Amino acid sequence: MTKRIYTDPSIASSEITPESVFLNRRAFIRASSGTAATALGLSTAALASAAEPVELSYQTDPDGSLRGEQTPYDAVTSYNNFYEFGTDKSDPARHAHSMATDPWTIRVGGLVDQPGELHLEDVMSGFDLEERIYRFRCVEAWSMVVPWIGFPLATLLKRFAPSAEGRFVEFKTLYRPGEMRGTRSFTSVIDWPYREGLRLDEAMHPLTLMAVGLYGKTLPNQNGAPLRLVVPWKYGFKSIKSIVEINVTAEQPETSWQTLQPSEYGFYANVNPEVDHPRWSQRFERKLPSSIFKPNRAPTLPFNGYREQVAGLYEGMDLRQFY
C-alpha cells in the first residue's frame, strides 16, 4: 500500500519533531509491533513509512513554513475543549481517561448504499495513515499547529457508497454519562450527544481528515480518541471528537453549537477574519502556548490559510450570511 505524508518530503520526520516526541514515537512503533497489533498494526507500518520517500497528493504548505511552528505536545494535550469532561481547558486532560475507547464501533448509515459498522481494528488496519501538519484555529481565537496522523474522510465515506441524494454528513460523539462527568454536570448546556456536520463536498475534500493520532502517537483521550475529525479551514468546534456515528443526509443536520446559539456559531464556521464573533473580533489569534506576558498574537488568515484549496467550495456564497 502506498503511504503518504503531507509535509515537505525533503525533511525527515526527525528534523521537524522535537526529539523527546520523536523518541516517544519510536516507542509507540515498538509497542505497536507486538501482539496487540490488531488495533495498532497499520499505525506501525504507516508511521514507520513516514521516514521513507513519499508521494504527495498535493501541496498545502509549499514553503514548509508550518514545520517550524508546531505547537508543543504538552500544550496540544493539556489545553483542550471537550465539554463531555468539563468546560475548563484543563478538565479534559484531567478527566477524559475515564472514557473507555476499546472496543470502539462507528456506525455509518443514512443515505449510503452499503451501511455498516467499523470497529477500531478495521480503522487501524484498513486505511493508509498519513502525517499532516495543519493549522488549527478555535472560534475562541486561540490557535495551534498540530502534526496529526490520520486518513482522508473521503476514503472512509467512499467505502459506504453515499447515494445520489446525499448532500450532507452528520457526526455524533460517544455519549456515555457514566464515563463523562461533564455531561452529568448541572452547568452542562449541550443537548448530548455532541453533533456536527459538513456538506458532502466539504466532507469529501482531501484536506478533511479523520485523525487517529498526533505527534506520532495514538490520540490521547482529551484530544478525541480513538478517532476524531479535523477540518483545518473551519473553527475547531467542527472538528468533532470520539466519533461513534456518521450519517449521510439530504438535509443540513442539526449541530450542537448552532443549535445552542445560532447567532454566534454558524453551520459553515469557516475561519474568517472579516466576520467577527458577536462578542469578540476574529482578526487576530493567540498562538499556543500563550500568556499575558507573551500573548503570541498573529493575524488570522482567511480559511485559516487554506483559501487556495477550499475557497472554490463557497463560490457565489455570501460568507457573511453563511458564517
Nearer to ligand MTE, 168 or 192 (CB): 192
Pick the closest to residue 25 from 38, 12, 10, 9 (CA basis).
12
Closest CB to ligand MTE: residue number: 236
270 is a site residue for ligand MTE (CB under 6 A): no
| Angle of CA points 159, 43, 54, to nearest 5° | 85
Nearer to ligand MTE, 134 or 160 (CB): 134
Given candidates 134, 168, 237, 306, which one binds ligand MTE under the rule CB under 6 A?
237
For the segment 1-20, give every residue that binds ligand MTE (CB under 6 A).
none
For the segment 157-216, give every residue that binds ligand MTE (CB under 6 A).
173, 194
Which SS3 state, helix, strand or coil, does residue 55 take? coil
Given candidates 28, 82, 215, 323, which one binds ligand MTE under the rule CB under 6 A?
82
Burial string for 216-235 (b: 16+ CB within 10 Å, else e) reads bbbbbbbbbbbbbbbbbbbb
Nearer to ligand MTE, 140 or 201 (CB): 140
Q: Is the peptide bond before 103 cis (omega within 30 degrees of 0)?
A: yes
323 is a site residue for ligand MTE (CB under 6 A): no
State the binding string over 89-118 for ligand MTE (x if CB under 6 A, else -): ------------------------------
Shortest distance, CB of residue 223 to ligand MTE, whole angstroms? 4
191 Cβ contact list (under 8 Å, min separation 6): 256, 259, 260
Contact 47, 129 (CB under 8 A): yes
83 is a site residue for ligand MTE (CB under 6 A): yes
Shortest distance, CB of residue 85 to ligand MTE, whole angstroms? 8
Distances, alpha carbon 164 to alpha carbons 111, 112, 153, 161, 249, in Å: 8, 9, 18, 9, 10
Residues that bind ligand MTE (CB under 6 A): 80-84, 138, 173, 194, 223-224, 236-237, 239-242
